[in-house]
Amino acid sequence: MNIGKYKLHSKVLLAPMAGTSDKPFRMICREQGAGLTTSEMVVIQSHLMNSNKSKHRLDFSSEKSPISVQIAGSEADELAESAIKALEFGADIVDINMGCPAKKVCNKAAGSALMQNEKLVEDIIKNVVKSVDVPVTLKMRTGWDDDHKNAPMIAKIAEDNGIQMIAIHGRTRTQKFKGSAEFTTIKKIVNQVSIPVVANGDIDSPEKARDVLNFTGADAVMLGRATQGNPWLINQINEFLTDGSNAEEPSLEKKIPQILKHIKQIHEFYGHKMGTQLSRKHIFWYSMHLDREKGFAFWPSINRVTDHSEQYSKFQNFLYSI
């Protein structure tokens, strides 16, 4: 699949996820064969540039090209300015967020709230595409609610105005992450546009990825929450889609060094205090994936640890005890 001049060598992409798809996690997912990883959504405005959050979200040093940066906002000019600034931080691809269902985002008429206003969607896409000379992509949902599944209409607007790839999560904004993702709307979009379409939502196994691609005709799948604690799923799906083989998960012996390397990278990237706090969710996800019963028993003993060395040591001991 191509996005502009960039040829992706895998049909498995990592979804932009606030609080998850940061630099350390993107790098581990690239190592597992993700064809593209997209940053957490970022609002690139001058008054926010000195915040730690912006500094970390806009650090792409040492990452492989193409670098995809997701921008968020509610106004066409604001998003165009963010797109221009994203290039200064190394973006090869700019992704527009019209998929986030979070209340704090939607209350600002950003994220999936934009789907309620198709004229604004068109203005945003036109302005962003015109403002940069790199490919612009779009991430959205199937619509606002079950009575307003307007993703096919927005997909056509996107194609007509220069968007070069669309990723669709198979839920409406009002569903958030409840219920099951549906792929009929994505299939409709695939049948009416000629640009690449990526299917997203509840893809948690190689077989599910295959079935979704076969049903929708999409060009690729995008994995989100299923990678939390299990980035190896990317490689499993890759191998299954490539040659039909059922790739087994790596042994625990192989996983442990990769997990500990990830935790160490978080500590180093964010600094010891913040890194210890942000490692907790990954430790929880890894623990649940490896052994739910032991993970639940272990969690209270590490959840409140504030020293990075103690956290690392405790987690290391737990991993080798499984």
pLDDT tens-digit map of 233-286 = 999 999 999 988 777 789 999 999 999 999 999 999 999 999 999 999 999 999
- Mean pLDDT for 290-294 is 96
H helices within 1-51, ranges in order?
Answer: 23-31
Question: Which of the four pLDDT bands, split at 50, 70 and 90, describes residue 47?
Answer: very low
Determine the average pLDDT of the residues in 34-51.
77
Question: Who wins on pLDDT, 46 or 58?
Answer: 58
Torsion angles phi and psi, residue 317, rounded to 5: -60, -40
Enumerate residues 6+ apart whose C-beta is below 8 A from 37.
Answer: 13, 14, 21, 26, 29, 30, 68
Q: Which amino acid is at 287?
A: S
**Partner residues linked to 169 by β-bridges:** 141, 200
Query: Has residue 232 got a pLDDT over 60?
Result: yes
- The single residue listed with the structure tokens 């198979």 is 170
The single residue listed with the structure tokens 């593209």 is: 36
Q: How far apart are CA 50 and CA 55, in angstroms?
A: 7
Annotation: CATH topology of 2-243: TIM Barrel (3.20.20)
Please state the pTM of the whole predicted model: 0.92
Strand 2-3 and strand 197-200: pairing?
unpaired
pLDDT > 70: what percent of the chain? 93
- Average pLDDT, whole number, for the chain? 92
* Contact between 201 and 233 (Cβ < 8 Å): no
Map out the domains of the chain as residue ranges. Answer: 2-243, 252-321
| Confidence category of residue 106, pLDDT binned at 50, 70, 90 | very low
**Which residues are marked as active site?**
100
101-115, 116-130, 158-172, 265-279 — which is least confidently predicted? 101-115
